[in-house]
Homo-oligomer: A and B are copies of this chain.
Amino acid sequence: MQQAKRVEMALEMALAEAAGPRSPPLLAAALRYALFPGGHRIRPQIVLSVARACGDANPEGADAAAAAIELLHSASLIHDDLPAFDDAGTRRGKPSVHVQFGEPIAVLAGDALIILAYETLGRGFATDPRQLGQLVSIVSRAVGAPGGIVAGQAWESETAIPLVDYQRAKTGALFAGATLAGAAAAGWDPEPWRALGEAIGEAYQVADDLRDLLCSAEELGKPVGQDERRARPNAATQLGIGGAKTRLTALADLAADSIPACPGAEELRAVIRAQTRQLFPSQLAQFAA
């Protein structure tokens, strides 16, 4: 099956009961609204690409891991958009979840997606529960405290933000979680895959910072200029547009070079190169060619 389709089907399966007829209707609708149609699905695609490069010995587990990573990402988007955080009225070109369904349902939808991520892992690794412990640990470190995306978000409430900890937690951790989860789901030692995830994560953060500075809200489907408005660190402001572009190119190379030896290393390298190229905002496409 085509990889993009595997991601959509894994998400559909994950939602079947949680957003099914027994669920409170508004909550169920909000869960579907937050997940479909998706963005680039870059994180779950990374999970499946890495699992494939490692031989994909347990495709059901890899699908569950991919879905879990995307569910956790979506949960963080819903909560980040809340009035107490970014107060973002739009996301992926449509009203954000709290605008569409109200704040209580938005908070609960985020909570439900976090829970569903773990439930999905539990189902996906029911036949090999030894791996389940590894996956629970990987995703918890990627999203929780002290070093995951929740912690990354929490650094924004501090008066002094330690830049490296902040960026690694806010973006890098979940990308590292994606590469580790893909390797672990295929039965490989996950730790050697961390460098790849962190390089992609930092590339993604630099690209996001560039877009925040350069793109129009219409092009992005969400508000821009948020970093300056919120006094958050922004790589493109710190390094300058040219410096950020140089860094992005270097990170794309670093990512491609950090793929551990595995059966599908060469194919994966091509995938990673293609994915990092997509990170360049359209104004910068000429640099990325």
Residue of B nearest to A22 (CB): B146
Per-residue contact bits, chain A 121-147, to B (CB 8 Å; 1 contact, 0 not): 111011001101100110011011111
Residue of B nearest to A130 (CB): B129
Cβ–Cβ contact B115 & A146, under 8 A: no
Chain B residues whose CB sits within 8 angstroms of the CB of A137 once the complex forms: 119, 122-123
What is the bound-complex CA distance between A27 and B137, given in angstroms?
20
24 A-B residue contacts at CB 8 Å? A17-B146, A18-B145, A22-B147, A23-B145, A23-B146, A24-B145, A24-B151, A24-B155, A26-B157, A31-B145, A79-B108, A79-B111, A101-B157, A104-B154, A108-B153, A114-B114, A115-B143, A118-B118, A119-B136, A121-B136, A122-B132, A129-B132, A132-B132, A136-B136
Chain A interface helix/strand/loop/mixed: helix
Cβ–Cβ contact B158 & A26, under 8 A: yes
A102 within 8 A of B: yes
Chain B residues whose CB sits within 8 angstroms of the CB of A165 once the complex forms: 22
A82 within 8 A of B: yes
A107 within 8 A of B: yes
What is the bound-complex CA distance between A18 and B155, given in angstroms?
14
Cβ–Cβ contact B17 & A111, under 8 A: no
Cβ–Cβ contact B122 & A140, under 8 A: yes
What is the bound-complex CA distance between A125 and B132, given in angstroms?
10
What is the bound-complex CA distance between A208 and B141, given in angstroms?
36
CB distance from A130 to the nearest CB of B (A): 5
Using a Cβ–Cβ cut-off of 8 Å, how many residues does chain A contribute to the interface with B? 60
A95 within 8 A of B: no
Per-residue contact bits, chain A 24-59, to B (CB 8 Å; 1 contact, 0 not): 111110010000000000000000000000000000
A270 within 8 A of B: no
CB distance from A172 to the nearest CB of B (A): 15
Chain B residues whose CB sits within 8 angstroms of the CB of A17 once the complex forms: 145-146
Cβ–Cβ contact B140 & A105, under 8 A: no
CB distance from A181 to the nearest CB of B (A): 14
What is the bound-complex CA distance between A280 and B17, given in angstroms?
36
